[in-house]
């Protein structure tokens, strides 16, 4: 609702009370009307609903002492939308600034102060309006999906992007090529016109040029005079090595174009990384799980382990525990800033689910030979300790 609407409304009439009604009278009148007009009591009655809203709005202002005071003051000033009280303004000793400073002192009342702020914010002879002031373009966010290896090693990804951009046909002027916009004669290019009402001067966006200050007689066929058209751009995005899933990359100035020579917004590309069937990731480290047999761990072995760009040979010492993590230094993610992670290799015993008779026999022989060794001795000792 504009300030004008607000002031034009007669909240007293809405509630059917006089302008000097007491707070109690206001409340009584509201309760009675609210009961009568409540949507529950008038199902499907749009008129009653509208009245109910008006009455609620009126009560919202008149029941609040501070708001009611402001409303009364504004109504005195505007005197029913017509002329101003005689003598007021010229040497009347009242200044718009006065009204504002008082409202600011009252603090936090919002309401009229805010509404009038919008009405009074421009005085006669104002400078460029927000419509003609340079404005930064909006930021744009888009998504890109890349493979794990691309994320680790970095990649350049071509992207097609549909977004508003400065119209290339008219270079943003909005005028058909070969013509140019002319300065709006109504507002002399300011985008604002000043309306005098009594002692006050109000500025409002110029209706002739819709606040732009310029008139395009022959609009550009591609953008219809806006100077901005939706365009599909192909951008090549460099994704730095080591980018993580969900990370955003900022491309300065690649967002929406600014208006009135304002700077462009930025483009934010959110990177989604497809998981890799082989490698996982923990910060700058890569992880991989390598199945091994029990004899390999017990007797020791040499393993060939895949890395991102080849393989690495690792010695597994005899007596290595299952689940042990070995580290291949420098085989992780190499970031642009020089940080390099490692490849963390988890050894996991693979237990055969099907053995032939000979293998089974050999394993049973092994079991009986090692029956004295209790792998849970330490665990049991700890359990005992805990229970005592
Ligand atoms: Zn154009
Ligand atoms: Zn104009």
Whose atoms come closest to the Cα of 175: which ligand? Answer: 1
* Helix spans in 63-194 (H): 65-78, 96-106, 111-120, 148-153
- Secondary structure letter of residue 215 according to DSSP: E
Whose atoms come closest to the Cα of 209: which ligand? Answer: 2
- Secondary structure letter of residue 204 according to DSSP: E
Residue 34 CA, ligand 1 centroid: distance in Å: 54
- Is 112 marked within a binding site? no
Q: Determine the average pLDDT of the residues in 322-341.
A: 91
Please provide the CATH number assigned to the domain covering 140-181+216-274. 2.60.260.20
Predicted pLDDT of residue 132:
64
Pick the CATH number of 4-77 from 1.10.8.60, 3.30.930.10, 1.10.287.110, 3.40.50.300: 1.10.287.110
Predicted pLDDT of residue 4:
53
Predicted pLDDT of residue 195:
79
Task: Report DSSP letters for 260-314, one per residue.
Answer: TTPPP--EEEEEEEPPPSS-EEETTEEEEEEEE-HHHHHH-EEEEEEETTEEEEE
Which stretch of DSSP H or E encloses residue 251? strand 248-251
pLDDT in tens, 200-237: 777 788 888 888 888 999 999 988 888 887 778 788 88
* Helix spans in 38-88 (H): 46-62, 65-78
Rounded distance between C-alpha atoms, residue 331 and residue 189, angstroms: 64
Predicted pLDDT of residue 387:
80
The listed range with the strongest mean pLDDT (217-226, 235-244, 363-372) is 363-372
Residue 2 CA, ligand 2 centroid: distance in Å: 21
Q: Which residues contact 168 (CB under 8 A, 6 or more apart)?
A: 222, 229, 231
Domain covering 280-387: architecture: Sandwich (2.60)
Whose atoms come closest to the Cα of 190: which ligand? Answer: 2
Quote the longest CA-to-CA distance of the chain.
117
User: In the chain, where are the structural domains located?
Assistant: 4-77, 140-181+216-274, 280-387
- Is 220 marked within a binding site? yes
Query: Angle, nearest 10°, between helix axes 65-78 and 46-62?
Result: 100
Residue 217 CA, ligand 1 centroid: distance in Å: 13
Predicted pLDDT of residue 98:
37
Q: Phi and psi at residue 247, in whole multiples of 5°? A: -70, 150
Nearest 10 degrees: CA dihedral of 183, 186, 192, 193?
160
The listed range with the strongest mean pLDDT (105-109, 141-145, 230-234, 325-329) is 325-329
Whose atoms come closest to the Cα of 205: which ligand? Answer: 2
Residue 221 CA, ligand 1 centroid: distance in Å: 6
pLDDT in tens, 262-291: 888 899 999 999 999 999 999 899 999 999
Is it true that 140-181+216-274 and 280-387 share their CATH fold?
A: yes
Is residue 273 within 8 A of residue 239, CB to CB? The reply is no
Residue 228 CA, ligand 2 centroid: distance in Å: 20
pLDDT in tens, 57-99: 788 778 878 778 877 777 776 554 333 333 333 333 333 333 3
pLDDT at position 347 over 70: yes
pLDDT in tens, 147-176: 998 998 889 988 887 766 778 888 888 899
Average pLDDT, the chain: 80
Residue 65 CA, ligand 2 centroid: distance in Å: 41
Residue of 180 and 121 predicted with greater confidence? 180
Is the sign of the CA dihedral 101, 103, 106, 109 positive or negative?
negative
pLDDT at position 369 over 90: yes
- Is 170 marked within a binding site? yes
Q: Determine the average pLDDT of the residues in 288-301.
A: 96
pLDDT at position 124 over 50: no
Residue 185 CA, ligand 2 centroid: distance in Å: 6
Rounded distance between C-alpha atoms, residue 156 and residue 307, angstroms: 22
Residue 208 CA, ligand 2 centroid: distance in Å: 5
Is the pTM value of this prediction over 0.75? no
């Amino acid at each position: 609702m504009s300030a004008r609407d607000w002031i034009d409304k007669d909240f007293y009439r809405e509630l059917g009370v006089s302008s000097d009604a007491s707070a109690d009278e206001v409340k009584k009148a509201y309760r009675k009307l609210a009961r009568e007009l409540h949507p529950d009591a008038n199902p499907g009655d749009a008129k009653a609903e509208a009245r109910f809203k008006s009455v609620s709005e009126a009560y919202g202002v008149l029941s609040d002492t501070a708001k009611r005071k402001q409303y009364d003051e504004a109504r005195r000033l505007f005197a029913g939308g017509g002329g101003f009280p005689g003598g007021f303004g010229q040497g009347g000793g009242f200044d718009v600034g006065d009204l504002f400073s008082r409202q600011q002192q009252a603090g936090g009342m919002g309401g009229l102060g805010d509404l009038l702020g919008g009405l009074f914010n421009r005085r006669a002879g104002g400078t460029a309006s927000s419509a003609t002031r340079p404005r930064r373009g909006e930021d744009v966010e888009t998504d890109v999906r890349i493979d794990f290896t691309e994320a680790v090693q970095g990649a350049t990804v071509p992207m097609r992007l549909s977004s508003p951009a400065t119209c290339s046909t008219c270079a943003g002027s909005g005028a058909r090529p070969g013509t140019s916009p002319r300065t709006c004669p109504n507002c002399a290019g300011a985008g604002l016109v000043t309306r005098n009402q009594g002692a006050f001067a109000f500025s409002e966006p110029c209706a002739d040029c819709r606040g732009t200050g310029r008139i395009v007689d022959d609009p550009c066929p591609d953008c219809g005079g806006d100077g901005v058209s939706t365009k599909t751009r192909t951008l090549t995005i460099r994704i730095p090595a080591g980018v993580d899933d969900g990370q955003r990359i900022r491309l300065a100035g690649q967002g929406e174009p600014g208006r009135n020579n304002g700077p462009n917004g930025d483009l934010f590309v959110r990177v989604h990384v497809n998981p890799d069937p082989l490698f996982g990731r923990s910060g700058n480290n890569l992880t991989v799980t390598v199945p091994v047999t029990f004899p390999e761990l017990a007797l020791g072995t040499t393993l060939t382990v895949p890395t991102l760009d080849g393989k690495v040979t690792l010695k597994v010492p005899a007596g290595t525990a299952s689940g042990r993590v070995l580290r291949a230094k420098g085989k992780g993610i190499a970031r642009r800033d020089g940080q390099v992670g490692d490849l963390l290799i988890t050894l996991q015993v693979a237990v055969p689910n099907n053995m032939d008779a000979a293998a089974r026999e050999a394993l049973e022989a092994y079991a009986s030979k090692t029956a004295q060794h209790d792998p849970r001795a330490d665990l049991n000792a700890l359990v005992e300790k805990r229970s005592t």
